[in-house]
Amino acid sequence: MNTEVFNAKTQKENGTQYAGRVIRSGGLVAFPTETVYGLGANGMDGEAVQRIFDAKGRPSDNPLILHVAKKSDVKQLWRHVPDEAKKLMDAFWPGPLTLIFVKSDAVPDEVTAGLSTVAVRMPDHKTALALIRAAGVPIAAPSANISGRPSPTTAEHVLADMDGRIDVVLDGGPCSVGVESTVLTLVGRPTILRPGGITREMLEQVIGEVDVSPAVLRPLREGEVAASPGMKHRHYAPDARVVVAKGSARKAASIICREYEIEEAMGNRCIVLGTEQTRACYHGMNCDIIGDRDDPRTLCAELFAALRRWSGKADVIFAESVDAEEQGLAYMNRLLRAAGFDVIDS
Ligand code: AMP
Ligand code: MG
């Protein structure tokens, strides 16, 4: 299959109209959103949705998110629209918040992997919204990477994984948030299944108390049922060992310096994903400064790109943990999974 690439700015009209037709006729289109690049298909067509799973090598028990271009579209996808959803959509849509509720009969089983609930979101990105409008249907889309690899935040990342496997890539430049949406279920007590750019604190200001699934910062225990099927699969892994150093900035940096020396002595190629605050600690070492510890949004924006940059080029990638609060929770969720929970605590 030949994958066609359109520049979402210079080929705006042609690109989105053509891609919309591809979606309607059952094809696959990768497109930018504010979180990461999505791999889209017609969300109302089970066969088209199945092609997403095939192209990604995605486990068939992991459901997809439906992307809509206006809030009222949820009416056809959910059995009804709960009050909490109305409040949250008004506060955060378009934006990086996915809401889960009981599905309507219109939603194919391929989208929900057989579950009775469906995840929906309205992305805050001009190209994504234009594509959904051009397609005229909700677009089912996971991240546009081979399953298990870091999510793509540029069109180059998408092509590295998907060239020849999908019909179209809309290139809209780098994604601003850099990690996937917050996933919140509204079935039962509102619970965050996956943290993202919209934080627990932001949600609580709108609907009151919100729980966070305990599996957000640790692996699933044996026999534990995943609230979100995505939690049990290996995720975000580059071709390198990823090691997370715990503790304050100084403590984490000193652990990294010590372990780096040991690994290097064994002949392993090392890289540190450092921060503005710890730059000086890694003098003379291979270091890639990815952001500011005091603003974890900057770390979220760079994490996946950095993992891809060093994938296959380093044997060990070291990273500092940060406080798992506000956007730091999303950062730690992705980093710990990328590391397969390989954590060093002094
Ligand atoms: P991705 O497609 O990579 O953004 O992943 C979507 C995430 O949402 C995965 O972790 C899924 O397991 C989760 N998800 C989607 N639909 C549901 C649902 N109906 N119930 C629980 N989790 C869901
Ligand atoms: Mg994904």
pLDDT tens-digit readout, 243-258: 999 999 999 999 999 9
For residue 39, the CA-to-ligand 2 centroid distance in Å is: 10
- 219 has pLDDT over 90: no
Say what the pLDDT of residue 233 is.
Answer: 72
Supply the pLDDT for residue 222.
Answer: 80
Mean pLDDT of 30-41: 98
Residue 197 above 80 pLDDT? Answer: yes
> What percentage of the chain reaches a pLDDT higher than 70?
100
pLDDT for 9 equals: 84
Indicate whether 199 pLDDT > 90.
Answer: yes
* The pairing of beta strand 97-102 with beta strand 182-185: parallel
- The whole-number pLDDT of residue 109 equals 97
**Domain 4-179 identical in fold to domain 241-344:** no
User: What is the 267 CA–ligand 1 centroid distance (Å)?
Assistant: 40
What is the CB < 6 Å shell around ligand 1? 62-65, 100, 112, 115, 117-119, 142-143, 180, 183, 193-194, 228-230
Nearest residue (CA) to ligand 1, atom 6:
64
Percent of the chain with pLDDT over 90: 91
How far is 301 from 244, CA to CA, in rounded Å? 18
Q: How far is the CA of 233 from the centre of ligand 2 (A)?
A: 10
Greatest Cα-to-Cα distance within the chain, rounded to the nearest angstrom:
61
Strand runs (DSSP E) across the chain, as ranges? Answer: 4-7, 29-31, 38-42, 65-67, 97-102, 117-121, 139-141, 168-171, 182-185, 191-194, 211-212, 241-245, 270-275, 287-291, 316-320, 343-344
CA distance 273 to 134: 40
pLDDT of 226? 79
Q: Ligand 1 atom 11: the closest Cα is on which residue?
A: 230
**Mean pLDDT (whole number) for 76-103:** 98
Phi, psi values for residue 302, rounded to 5° = -105, -15
Confidence tier at 59 by pLDDT (50, 70, 90): very high
Task: Taking residues 320-330, report their average pLDDT.
Answer: 96
pLDDT band at 46 (very low <50, low <70, confident <90, very high): very high
Question: Which pLDDT band holds residue 346 (cuts at 50, 70, 90)?
Answer: confident
Q: pTM surpassing 0.85?
A: yes
Q: What is the pLDDT of residue 166?
A: 98
Average pLDDT, rounded, for the chain:
96
Whether 318 has a pLDDT exceeding 80, the answer reads yes
* Residues paired with 120 in a beta bridge: 66, 99
241-344 CATH choice from 3.40.50.11030, 3.40.50.11440, 3.30.470.20, 3.10.20.30: 3.40.50.11030
289 C-alpha to ligand 1 centroid (Å) = 31
Q: Which two tokens stand for residue 182?
A: 């917050």
Of 97, 100, 118, 179, best ligand 1 pocket probe by most atoms within 8 Å of the beta carbon: 100
Hunting for tokens 């089970």 — which residue is that?
46
Ligand 1 atom closest to Cα of residue 112: 19
Domain ranges of the chain: 4-179, 241-344
Q: How far is the CA of 98 from the centre of ligand 2 (A)?
A: 13
Q: Specify the pLDDT at position 326.
A: 94
Question: If DSSP codes are grouped into helix, strand and coil, which group holds residue 298?
Answer: helix
The token pair that represents 299 in the structure block: 């770390």
194 alpha carbon – ligand 1 mean position (Å): 8
Task: Determine the distance separating the centroid of ligand 2 and the alpha carbon of 146, expressed in angstroms.
Answer: 9
Say which ligand is closest to the CA of 235: 2
pLDDT score recorded for residue 97: 98
Return the residue whose CA atom lies nearest to atom 3 of ligand 1: 142
- Lowest-confidence pick of 2-6, 8-12, 178-182, 280-284: 8-12
What was the pLDDT predicted at 224? 82
Pocket test for ligand 1, best of 120, 157, 225, 228 (most atoms within 8 A of CB): 228
Q: Which ligand minimizes its atom distance to the CA of 65?
A: 1
Average pLDDT of span 12-38: 95
pLDDT tens string 263-315: 999 999 999 999 999 999 999 999 999 999 999 999 999 999 999 999 999 99
Which residue, judged by its Cα, is nearest atom 2 of ligand 1? 142
The phi, psi pair for 331, rounded to 5°, reads -60, -50
pLDDT score of 180: 97
Calculate the alpha carbon distances from 85 to 93, 100, 186, 206 in Å: 10, 9, 8, 10
* Atom number, ligand 1, closest to the C-alpha of residue 180: 4
Please give the number of the atom of ligand 1 that sits closest to the Cα of 181: 4
Rounded average pLDDT over 234-242: 90
Answer for the pair 310, 269: CB distance below 8 angstroms, yes or no. no
Using most ligand atoms within 8 A of CB, pick from 52, 58, 64, 182 the residue to mutate for ligand 1. Answer: 64
User: What's the pLDDT band for 170 if we cut at 50, 70, 90?
Assistant: very high
Segment 6-12 mean pLDDT: 87
Position in ligand 1 atom list of the atom nearest CA 119: 16
pLDDT band (50, 70, 90) for residue 83? very high
Query: Any idea which ligand is nearest the CA of 153?
Result: 2
Token pair for 133: 């409008």
Residue 28 vs residues 21, 25, 313: alpha-carbon distances, Å: 10, 9, 30
Q: In this structure, which topology does domain 4-179 adopt according to CATH? A: DHBP synthase (3.90.870)
